[in-house]
Chains A and B, each alone.
Chain A
């Protein structure tokens, strides 16, 4: 078990390194350089030359990459080209803000998805089941920005003007100090992610409920509640964990669009800004972060899968 995790971690580091290389090359391939991007139409040759010198863009490409890599290994994410400040400082508050969004969306959608999936599996073929299936299918088919805009129209600007449509936390004040501004972004992410979890949970749960050991448990007269929580759920969780992992990993990237739509001051917005400014250091830091979330979440899913599957569990420990 420990060896498996260790091996996976080593591979993860290699994957992360590859990601940095690819992103670095990709940002170089983007036409235009940071100085021109920052200055826009105000770019005079003199201003461009001055900014080039200031930003250290005159150094060769490989040197800039190695400098950056050396910094990352020692915990220094470098200096943002656009803001002229340390990347860590630029992203610190934004990472926290995005994490709040992610964790809230993940917890709510996982809990809701598991509960709703189990509930509908127990009511297979009934109206409630059909209703939830149909609704989840429709919602799952909608892209996140459509859901987001629909929610804004419904709950903020037109039908029921209840909630703020954009996030306007004053500087220095964390976003969670105004919970009402979090509702719409979180709800959007939940609506995107929960349907998949619900559907997967319903499918696996149905299968498990039809299996021999659940029938056996019922025949033994174990109360239904215990049958579900002790016998059915643990077996259904394994496969569902994989789907949850994929969804949570998607969340890490999906926040970009949602943050853009709700003007949420997280890493997604910073990423768009950084790409526009050709701010390589910030793009690198954020993609590294998102890649890391992907890897960690998938690793966790595999561990859950192994722990809940006795066959795998014994294989690995052997």
Chain B
């Protein structure tokens, strides 16, 4: 062996080390160019779709009513269906029910079951099944995830063989929204986890917690022709690199959650397609309005003025998002879109802080990797706040600690919410009795408006109440909502039928009934 070859071997190894540092980034640059064309024409029947899903573990479940992680949600979305849910544009879509109507006072809602909806074993869905489903969800000894937002539900009773009545303890003008949750899937009265049966487009085949689950086509599915796939495989991935490498080496056909830094790199690979969806998902900073210094509304306003929202979108999300205006629920028909867009205004922020007696403010921000971009947002905010003389000490903890005993009592922290409409979001996080009132928001005027809006069946009147409620949050709320995060996923070019989805759930809302495979595979 000549000295030259020795050097080249060393160089080779060093080169590999350099490659390794950039990981999947570089692995996307080169690669095969055996690019198939994107499928066109009518959907093709058959085939197996293999999907890499982020997260999950030993606590994975097939339970329809307690999905916690992304793989859980993906399974629930394909096995079960609620009475109604949200379509890709975040409009209400009837599923197991064909209609849902409210009484004039908003106290009784009547659902009519869709004709011909059958469970996986071929049995038709009856009112008794719906009643049993809600009994399972509301079980006082073991309340499921959906129970917290259904507190106004008094009882569910049958009304003939195709109708079910939901009787409420207080009037609710948007009860349809509360029923439209993926964790409220209708199951048979004799449901057991050993036989996970629902009305969803796929039937459960195999399931191994923490690893993967497989599903086969439900031949009884009520939508003609769908699903197109014969088989669906959901594969858990805990690590970003492994998931992306699996896509690059064609071991999976689609993956959720592409790190935003890799979007452009993957986009340049002609074997792949990026699916970027505008959503109502938000990643706020949460200030506790009952704790100093945030109990002074001027401090809250100042910190909202400190944020450069465009820079946040560009640096934290690599442009994959939209600027926020300290308001949530952007897809709600009552969204207060005419309030002026708040922009960075350091001079005004300084003035407000001086008036509040905090010419040099020193605060601690608790952050954790609760969602891609959360920690980065905290760091960018830290830099931006410097300009206004605010010292932000970023305290990073791990996710379990973040949601541990101190969750809901951090003075200044972050949060993460999927798309919701206004009133359900308020019920979850902006009322004194809400389960996740992170900002300890307790504004009498706001509570009064919201309570009235909940009971107001007339839409125009309700909208005007909600607009006023939003103005209060816009002026003195505890959330800094700097933007809405796009959901970015990726799939092989031969996969069709995956479309942008506003709910914030990845990959077409994990709705694989519409997915099909082209011939390029």
CB neighbours (8 Å) of B145 from chain A are 42, 44, 47
How many angstroms from the CA of A31 to the CA of B405 in the assembled complex?
A: 8
Report yes or no: A44 in contact with B242, Cβ–Cβ below 8 A: no
Partner of B27 from the list A43, A90, A157, A279 (CB cut-off 8 Å) is A157
Per-residue B-contact encoding for A40-84, CB less than 8 Å = 1, 0 else: 111111110010001000000000000000000000000010110
Q: Please provide the chain B residues from 43 to 94 with a CB less than 8 Å away from any CB of chain A in the complex.
A: 50, 57-60, 66-69
Report yes or no: A80 in contact with B58, Cβ–Cβ below 8 A: yes
Partner of B57 from the list A43, A130, A276 (CB cut-off 8 Å) is A276
Partner of A32 from the list B3, B144, B404 (CB cut-off 8 Å) is B404
CB neighbours (8 Å) of B66 from chain A are 42, 47
CB neighbours (8 Å) of A157 from chain B are 24, 27-28, 31, 245, 248-249
Instruction: Choose among B66, B148, B246, B252 the residue with the greatest number of A CB atoms under 10 Å from its CB.
Output: B246
Nearest CB in chain B to that of A274: its residue: B58
Q: Which of A145-153, A206-214, A298-306 contacts B (4 or more CB under 8 A)?
A: A145-153
Nearest CB in chain B to that of A172: its residue: B206
Contact status of A39 and B68, CB under 8 A, knowing A161-B249, A166-B251, A265-B211: yes
A170 beta carbon closer than 8 Å to chain B: yes
Partner of B58 from the list A50, A165, A282 (CB cut-off 8 Å) is A282
Nearest CB in chain B to that of A159: its residue: B30
Nearest CB in chain A to that of B140: its residue: A46
Nearest CB in chain A to that of B248: its residue: A157
B141 beta carbon closer than 8 Å to chain A: yes
CB neighbours (8 Å) of A216 from chain B are none
A273 beta carbon closer than 8 Å to chain B: yes
How many angstroms from the CA of A40 to the CA of B59 in the assembled complex?
A: 11
Contact status of A164 and B32, CB under 8 A, knowing A32-B401, A276-B57: no
How many angstroms from the CA of A153 to the CA of B24 in the assembled complex?
A: 8
Q: Please provide the chain B residues from 13 to 42 with a CB less than 8 Å away from any CB of chain A in the complex.
A: 13-14, 16-17, 19-21, 23-24, 26-32
> In whole Å, how far is B246's beta carbon from the nearest beta carbon of chain A?
5
Report yes or no: B59 in contact with A153, Cβ–Cβ below 8 A: no
How many angstroms from the CA of A25 to the CA of B10 in the assembled complex?
A: 46
Report yes or no: B235 in contact with A168, Cβ–Cβ below 8 A: yes
> In whole Å, how far is B203's beta carbon from the nearest beta carbon of chain A?
16
Contact status of A152 and B245, CB under 8 A, knowing A50-B141, A158-B30: yes
CB neighbours (8 Å) of B27 from chain A are 152-153, 157-158
Partner of A150 from the list B5, B17, B31 (CB cut-off 8 Å) is B17
> In whole Å, how far is B367's beta carbon from the nearest beta carbon of chain A?
15
Q: Which of A3-11, A241-249, A256-264 contacts B (4 or more CB under 8 A)?
A: A256-264
CB neighbours (8 Å) of B28 from chain A are 157-158
> In whole Å, how far is A239's beta carbon from the nearest beta carbon of chain B?
28
CB neighbours (8 Å) of B449 from chain A are none
CB neighbours (8 Å) of B401 from chain A are 31-32
A128 beta carbon closer than 8 Å to chain B: yes
Instruction: Choose among A38, A166, A276, A282 the residue with the greatest number of B CB atoms under 10 Å from its CB.
Output: A166
CB neighbours (8 Å) of A276 from chain B are 57, 400
Nearest CB in chain A to that of B244: its residue: A157
Report yes or no: B249 in contact with A165, Cβ–Cβ below 8 A: yes
Per-residue B-contact encoding for A203-237, CB less than 8 Å = 1, 0 else: 00000000000000000000000000000000000
B435 beta carbon closer than 8 Å to chain A: yes
Report yes or no: A134 in contact with B6, Cβ–Cβ below 8 A: yes
Report yes or no: A166 in contact with B246, Cβ–Cβ below 8 A: yes
Nearest CB in chain B to that of A275: its residue: B400
How many angstroms from the CA of A157 to the CA of B28 in the assembled complex?
A: 8
Report yes or no: A41 in contact with B403, Cβ–Cβ below 8 A: yes
Per-residue A-contact encoding for B234-249, CB less than 8 Å = 1, 0 else: 0101110110011011
A311 beta carbon closer than 8 Å to chain B: no
Per-residue B-contact encoding for A104-129, CB less than 8 Å = 1, 0 else: 00000000000000000000000110
How many angstroms from the CA of A80 to the CA of B435 in the assembled complex?
A: 28
Contact status of A273 and B210, CB under 8 A, knowing A159-B30, A282-B58: yes
Instruction: Choose among B1, B21, B57, B67 the residue with the greatest number of A CB atoms under 10 Å from its CB.
Output: B57
Report yes or no: B23 in contact with A270, Cβ–Cβ below 8 A: no
CB neighbours (8 Å) of A150 from chain B are 16-17, 19-20
Per-residue A-contact encoding for B178-215, CB less than 8 Å = 1, 0 else: 00000000000000000000000000001111111010
Since A36-B405, A37-B403, A83-B60 are in contact, a sample of 9 more A-B pairs with Cβ atoms closer than 8 Å, ordered by chain A residue number, is A42-B66, A131-B6, A142-B20, A146-B17, A158-B248, A166-B251, A260-B242, A277-B58, A282-B58
Question: Footprint of A on B, CB under 8 Å?
Answer: 1-3, 5-6, 9-10, 13-14, 16-17, 19-21, 23-24, 26-32, 50, 57-60, 66-69, 141-145, 147-148, 206-212, 214, 235, 237-239, 241-242, 245-246, 248-249, 251-252, 370, 397, 399-401, 403-405, 407, 416, 435-436
